[in-house]
Amino acid sequence: MVTTQDKLQVKIGNLELKNPVILASGTCGFGSEIKDFADTGKLGGIVTKTITLTKREGNPPPRVFETTGGLLNSIGLDNDGFKNFVFEKVSGLEKLRTTVIASIAGNTVGEFVKLVTGLSGIPVVGAIELNLSCPNVIHKGTRFNLLSQDEKAVKKIISKLRGITQKTLIAKLSPNVTDIKKIARAAETAGIDAISLINTYPGLAADIHTMKPRLGGVTGGLSGPAIKPLALKCVWDVYRSVGVPIIGAGGIMTWEDAVEFMICGAAVVQVGTANFVNPKAPFEITEGIKKYMKAKKIKSVKDIVGTLKA
């Protein structure tokens, strides 16, 4: 007999998720605050705030600003570093009773290696998401400002990490590239298990009275409903170019948005900005997907993925 649970189950790499709805990096901290609002055990999983090897203070305020249908942020990878993660955050993550995906970023291949080696020994970490939307220090001075714009750097990092960990590896890509398909294929060739897209779009907002930028960091990343059609196109493009599963994100507020991402090729969806507006959104999205499947007599969520008639 197929239970509802089985119907919602998805697999990425060797990681089983009880349902395809997970919380996006940087929008749920390390899960402890979300526990006040709902049973985290019902989530498909959570992706932690991006962890770097050493503590980062983050950008000067203001760090967030609302624009039409969107949220512009310049947080600046504010986090307490890897050691703090191990000693202060892991025990809290164990209490969430859901799959934990650790998001990491490094300046050098060496930093990525240290982080992945460390995380590989932590049982609660089910998978590792590589946040490649960080400055490209590896090939400094090239025209690729971000790691995820640099096909060669992406290949180099992932091949190296593939060789040192059994954990499921996910590459999170930036939409701020000429051809996202190329970057996705490079990640696949290097042995990635899944591709997560998209991170925020670069943006800017200014105050016309003071002539000052709205964000302390001047520019920031745009998320929320405003970027949804752009994200859907990235998902569809990459879906047709690679064989590994896609984790889709960008402006998902409702279950209808989530299903739309699945139709365009996402096997799993991440909910980000919506958590700020409604901490229960991911739970309501999962319930909505269940009802949709029942109404349409769909046996497994997998059957929705990539069904776009185009």
Partner 1 sequence: MKLFKARIISNNKIAPDHYVLSFKMPHAAGGVKPGQFFNIKVNDACAPLLRRPFGAHKINRNKIEILYKVVGKATEILAARKKGGKLDIIGPLGNGFTINPQTGKLANRQAIIVAGGHGVSPLIALAKKLSDYGARIAVFIGARTKNHVVCREDFKRLCAKLYVATEDGTAGYKGLITDLLTAKLKNILAHNTPTMYACGPKTMLKEIAGIAKRHRMHCQVSLEEYMACGIGTCLGCAVKTKTGYKLVCKDGPVFNAKDIVW
Ligand X SMILES: Cc1cc2nc3c(=O)[nH]c(=O)nc-3n(C[C@H](O)[C@H](O)[C@H](O)COP(=O)(O)O)c2cc1C
Look at residues 115, 119, 158, 157 and name the one whose alpha carbon lies nearest to residue 137: 157
Q: What is the DSSP string of 95-161?
A: TT-S-EEEEE--SSHHHHHHHHHHHHT-TTEEEEEEE--SB--TTTTSS--BGGG-HHHHHHHHHHH
Q: Cβ closer to partner 1: 75 or 198? A: 75
Q: Residue 48 Cβ, how far from partner 1 at the closest point, in Å?
A: 11
Q: Residue 84 Cβ, how far from ligand X at the closest point, in Å?
A: 15
Q: Residue 137 Cβ, how far from ligand X at the closest point, in Å?
A: 17
Look at residues 138, 135, 29, 132 and name the one whose alpha carbon lies nearest to residue 78: 29
Beta bridge partner(s), residue 129: 103, 170
Which residues of this protein are in contact with ligand X, per CB under 6 A? Answer: 24-27, 49-50, 71, 73, 75, 77, 103, 131, 172, 199-200, 223-224, 227, 249-252, 271-274
Look up 134 and say whether it is catalytic: yes
Q: Cβ closer to partner 1: 191 or 216? A: 216
Which residues of this protein are in contact with partner 1, per CB under 8 A? Answer: 26-29, 33-34, 36-37, 49, 57-58, 60-66, 68-71, 73, 75, 78, 224-225, 253, 273, 275-280
Q: Residue 2 Cβ, how far from partner 1 at the closest point, in Å?
A: 33
Look at residues 276, 293, 237, 232 and name the one whose alpha carbon lies nearest to residue 23: 276
Closest CB to ligand X: residue number: 26
**210 interface partner picked from ligand X, partner 1, none, CB below 5 to 8 A per type:** none
- Catalytic residue annotation: 134
